[in-house]
Structure 1
Amino acid sequence: MKILHGSGIHSSVMHFHVRLLCFWMLFSLAFSANFTDLFQPFWAPDHIVNEDNLVKLTLDNTSGCGIRSRRNYLFGRASVQIKLIEGDSAGTVTAFYMSSDGPDHDELDFEFLGNVSGEPYLVQTNVYVNGTGNREQRHSLWFDPTADFHSYSFLWNRHCIIFLIDGIPIRVFTNKEEEIGVPYPKNQGMGIYGSVWNADDWATQGGSVKTDWSHAPFISAFRSFNIDACEYLAESDGTVGKCREGGLYWWDKPALNSLSLHQSRQLKWVRAKHLVYDYCKDTGRFNELPRECLS
């Protein structure tokens, strides 16, 4: 987006984003749906407790567990508030993600990598398109995610995917399909998931620290589930075409084709202070960096 400093255009764009932020806040307050209206267990329902829309996902030495949305969506915004496992969470992963079905699936990930007591959590994000991922970034957090609930969101439209924590962008994946031929998730409806599981073969210090089951059960709490997105239905319904058609929804507005000036500054701060791994910088892993990293 081109910003003309010192002009009415800059002022109007900034005012638009302020109004949009207010809209998101009002939406969260007014349209937080009941958990059972939006979600259902998909794995180990006996490890899931719903206490008046406060949903606790439990991992022990018998099983993890997971929830998924009752519907799939194509473009829009999905968010949840999560309070992560307290104390020694080494080897565990709490995930909030979107995914389509099948081996050639699209997927957007927040994965919270547990650690030993006193060490910080890391959040790993990833983007899969047509079954191919390998686009990991890892960030430290500027708060203790086990002390209180914090908001984690995906904003997904035809131009970009924005990962947000408490409204602050930590990552942007831009649609460069027409520009340089990098595939972009735009055709497959995705369900919205939450899960807790054991990943001590890789999650903590590369798998060198294993899960200590004497600290089980490990519990992550989810609440304030919000979905403002286009529901993806069968082709015969016609809604799929409606989802793909630009200009119908608030996330299609031109101002959301990229970050605002304020958001760009926030992202720059996050990258400078909290980015600890970026696949685009890993020349040891890739003989040739992925194309999206070079433009």
Structure 2
Amino acid sequence: MASSFSYNPSQNLAILLLVAFITNYLVLVAVAGNFNQDFDITWGDGRGKIVNNGQVLTLSLDKASGSGFQSKDQYLFGKIDMQIKLVPGNSAGTVTAYYLRSEGSSWDEIDFEFLGNLSGDPYIVHTNIFSQGKGNREQQFYVWFDPTADFHTYSILWNPQHVVLYVDGTPIREFKNMESIGVAYPKNQPMKIYSSLWNAEEWATRGGLVKTDWTKAPFTASYKSFNDDQACVWSSSSSSSSSCSNTTSVMLSQELDTTSQERLKWVQKNYMIYNYCTDTQRFPQGLPLECTAPAQ
């Protein structure tokens, strides 16, 4: 059958532009995610809310209760992005936690915890990594912006080689797989995403010296633009497999390039305020193995 197609540059350009627009729109929709589809609010008696047709989630804390949510899916390796706007003003005593965690008594966990502050003081980004129920791997940082003025992206890259924590695409912490020298590494247990806003005035701000000012309640943190496109979703129908796209497969072997390594050094030189690997008073019998190995 003869084709009736004729070449029309203007028409074809318009079609290409339309296809590009539709493709970009679909990509944006996919990246934005939908909290109604991806998460369950698990506690807080109405203090956690999903609004704007599933595009924004908010958690609130008052004197009676905080609130929290968790992902519907479990993941075994991947890159997870979430944009968060932290509690503004005098947030002393509050903690906004955002983390991956497995179930059971020998759990794995990868933590961001944002420790509230007095107005004008910097937030502290508290990080920790657990493997087989063992943590005590805290590193703390200031950030180079006001995390309450706007949304910023907090990312976790977790693959068989290492865990990397990012802020706005800049790596702030790397924890390498050092099983070869006897350091347990989180690699076998699928994890869900959790977040909560809660009162930790006993320790959160200046070691508990500054208490929560309940006249400023309710305290609210906001979330948007969740993205798990590069994460491997654990299959609920199988106890030994997870689903990864071709794009995600690249992530499974992703290392830090030279530029990222330099950015990591810059953050740790200028913004790290606590590192368990230098706390000899805390570990009088010797620093943990991963702290003294040549690869660290």
With the length of structure 2 as denominator, give the TM-score of the two structures: 0.85
The alpha-carbon deviation at position 38 of structure 1 amounts to 0.6
The alpha-carbon deviation at position 252 of structure 1 amounts to 2.2
Distance in 1 (CA, whole Å) between partners of 2:152 and 2:104 is: 31
- What does 1:25-174 correspond to in 2, within 5 Å? 30-52=30-52, 53-174=55-176
CA contact (8 A) 1:154 1:164 kept: yes
Larger mean Cα displacement after TM superposition, 279-288 or 40-49: 40-49
Distance in 2 (CA, whole Å) between partners of 1:185 and 1:28 is: 31
In the alignment, what sits opposite 2:197? 196
Q: What secondary structure sits across from 2:203 in the alignment?
A: coil
Identify, as 1 or 2, the structure richer in helix: 1
In the alignment, what sits opposite 2:265? 268
Q: What secondary structure sits across from 1:58 in the alignment?
A: strand
Residues 33-67 of structure 1 show CA distances to partners (whole Å, capped at 9, x for unaligned) of: 21111101111140012221211100000100001
RMSD of equivalent CA atoms: 1.9
Which of these two proteins has the greater Rg computed from alpha carbons? 2
Distance in 2 (CA, whole Å) between partners of 1:266 and 1:109 is: 20
**Pairing 1:208–2:206 present:** no
Question: Kindly tell me: are residues 247 and 176 of structure 1, through their superposed partners in 2, closer, same or farther at Cα, counting changes over 3 Å?
Answer: farther
CA contact (8 A) 1:28 1:224 kept: no
Q: What secondary structure sits across from 1:226 in the alignment?
A: strand
Q: What secondary structure sits across from 1:280 in the alignment?
A: helix
- What does 1:5-44 correspond to in 2, within 5 Å? 30-44=30-44
Residues 98-147 of structure 1 show CA distances to partners (whole Å, capped at 9, x for unaligned) of: 00112211000000000111111010000011111100000001000011
Distance in 2 (CA, whole Å) between partners of 1:32 and 1:249 is: 21
The alpha-carbon deviation at position 283 of structure 1 amounts to 0.4
Task: In structure 2, give the amino acid aligned to 1:267.
Answer: L
Identity %: 48
In the alignment, what sits opposite 1:4? none
The alpha-carbon deviation at position 247 of structure 1 amounts to 11
Q: What secondary structure sits across from 2:227 in the alignment?
A: strand
CA contact (8 A) 1:38 1:69 kept: yes
Task: In structure 1, give the amino acid aligned to 2:175.
Answer: F
Q: What secondary structure sits across from 1:46 in the alignment?
A: coil
Residues 210-246 of structure 1 show CA distances to partners (whole Å, capped at 9, x for unaligned) of: 1111110000011111113111234x626x34569x9
Distance in 2 (CA, whole Å) between partners of 1:98 and 1:28 is: 25
The alpha-carbon deviation at position 265 of structure 1 amounts to 0.5
- What does 1:238-257 correspond to in 2, within 5 Å? 240-242=240-242, 249-253=249-253, 256=254
CA contact (8 A) 2:96 2:197 kept: yes
Task: In structure 2, give the amino acid aligned to 1:221.
Answer: S
Aligned length: 263
Task: In structure 1, give the amino acid aligned to 2:68.
Answer: G
In the alignment, what sits opposite 2:256? 259
Distance in 2 (CA, whole Å) between partners of 1:237 and 1:129 is: 23
Q: List runs of 5+ in structure 2 lacking aligned partners.
A: 1-25
Give 2:276's match in structure 1, choosing from 275, 279, 282. Answer: 279
Task: In structure 2, give the amino acid aligned to 1:41.
Answer: I
Distance in 1 (CA, whole Å) between partners of 2:45 and 2:222 is: 15
Distance in 1 (CA, whole Å) between partners of 2:221 and 2:271 is: 23
Q: List runs of 5+ in structure 1 lacking aligned partners.
A: 1-25
Question: Kindly tell me: are residues 27 and 207 of structure 1, through their superposed partners in 2, closer, same or farther at Cα, counting changes over 3 Å?
Answer: farther
Distance in 2 (CA, whole Å) between partners of 1:64 and 1:158 is: 34
CA contact (8 A) 2:94 2:204 kept: yes
Q: Which runs of 4+ in 1 moved over 3 A?
A: 26-30, 241-244
Q: What secondary structure sits across from 1:249 in the alignment?
A: helix
In the alignment, what sits opposite 2:289? 291
